[in-house]
Structure 1
């Protein structure tokens, strides 16, 4: 693996990405720290209102994700997120928060992502507004990133556009059909590892990475 890098394509509002987080932790613990690239799946044109039909579809998927991954989707999330009408499924603020957290140290992107996911799926907190996601970052010990999100500089916005742009470009280059996805980049040639490998055994995931 010394000549390869592993890149993780995700969206912070993707339930399947939340389900894949334990595998990211295991990779990081073993010395394989993936580069996190958001794809902007649920931002911009991908944002959509939270209506009853989508909420029911999401909850059905979430129960499947919980069975496969052990990641919890709590009642607070159902009550305060899925069952609240008039809100948007929009990952713009959360993605900006992850960019801000990793501006000086990219390794903090994973910590920010995990804090945001836990806030939404376990605590049922708002992570689709700037104030909501800034509060999550502050509680996670990243007050510096929270302040940047509330008053974004040109530097942050440029970094955000670059990060999402890189994620979208790689997603398209790999012809990926969704997130989460892993890409193993060896000798500047990326190879796609589909989402299924993130929900099987860890040894199988490692075998996929080594074979890519």
Structure 2
């Protein structure tokens, strides 16, 4: 059985859900494998300066904080968001995840969480490739090599494959969590849910399999 976590690094609710999915993996890592798929929330015509959506984010983040307990950092709120000129795009983060999955697939949940913290707490700009190298460094990878791989068209193709997979699974919002059993996908979570609910949904399916 495999947990398939469809998220987007720029999804605020996914940022709020990061501690939940991380806790879930830690509890069940010995009996389940885990895969993260980038949904591609902001691609194509949606890509643009963060200033275009700043008015929405400036109040929406408070709801995420209240519901999930995560905190958005001052570097994001008072610099990236207020400056408004950083390009908001899901593509570089998806490419970074594709590179990481190739190098260290067992830690892709943790890396996805680290990407979100870097954006929404530390305030990195999504197109800052060197910042992704520094995140990779924290996982014991070579930063320079990681950035070079991000420029390889192969990993952009793999990121686009993730976007297609998300569409094939009919994911309409993030986060969405599936359990894959014998080639079939069953949804066990959609939108932010607490750990207790995710655990209950998983155990319910596991019980039916016995």
TM-score, normalised on structure 1? 0.82
CA contact (8 A) 2:5 2:175 kept: yes
Shift of 1:44: 4.0
- The residue that corresponds to 1:36 in the other structure is 36
Moved more, 71-80 or 128-137: 128-137
Aligned equivalents of 2:38 and 2:150: distance in 1?
A: 20
Match of 1:73, SS? coil
Q: Secondary structure at the match of 2:186?
A: strand
Residues of 1 paired with 2:100 and 2:171: CA distance? 26
Residue of structure 1 in register with 2:177 after alignment? 182
Residue 168 of structure 1: aligned partner: 163
* Structure 1 residues 60-71: aligned runs within 5 Å: 60-71=59-70
CA separation of 1:93/1:184 partners in 2, compared to 1, >3 Å: closer, same or farther? Answer: same
Deviation at 1:71, TM superposition (A): 0.7
- RMSD of the alignment, in Å? 2.4
Aligned to 1:86: 85
Does the Cα contact within 8 Å between 1:42 and 1:89 map onto a contact in 2?
A: yes
Q: Is the 8 A contact 2:2 2:179 kept in 1?
A: yes
The separation in 1 between residues aligned to 2:127 and 2:204, in whole angstroms, is 38
Per the alignment, residue 115 of structure 1 pairs with 114
Q: TM-score under structure 2 normalisation?
A: 0.83
Partner deviation per Cα, 1:146-167 (whole Å, 9 max, x = no partner): 323432378x5424423541x3
The 2-side partners of 1:95 and 1:174 are apart by 17
Q: Given that residues 93 and 126 in structure 2 are in contact (C-alpha distance below 8 angstroms), is that contact kept between their aligned partners in structure 1?
A: yes
- 1:8 maps to 5
CA distance in 2, matches of 1:171, 1:209: 20
Q: Distance in 2 between matches of 1:83 and 1:159?
A: 31
1:134 matched to 2:133? The reply is yes
**Aligned match of 1:199:** 193
- Measured after TM superposition, the shift of residue 95 of structure 1 is 2.0
Question: CA 1:115/1:51 → structure 2, altered by over 3 Å: closer, same or farther?
Answer: same
Structure-2 separation of matches of 1:51 and 1:171 = 27
DSSP 3-state at the match of 1:193: strand
Runs of 4+ displaced beyond 4 Å: none
Q: CA deviation at 1:78?
A: 0.7
- Count residues in correspondence: 202
User: Aligned-pair distance for 1:14?
Assistant: 1.2
Corresponding residue SS for 2:130: helix
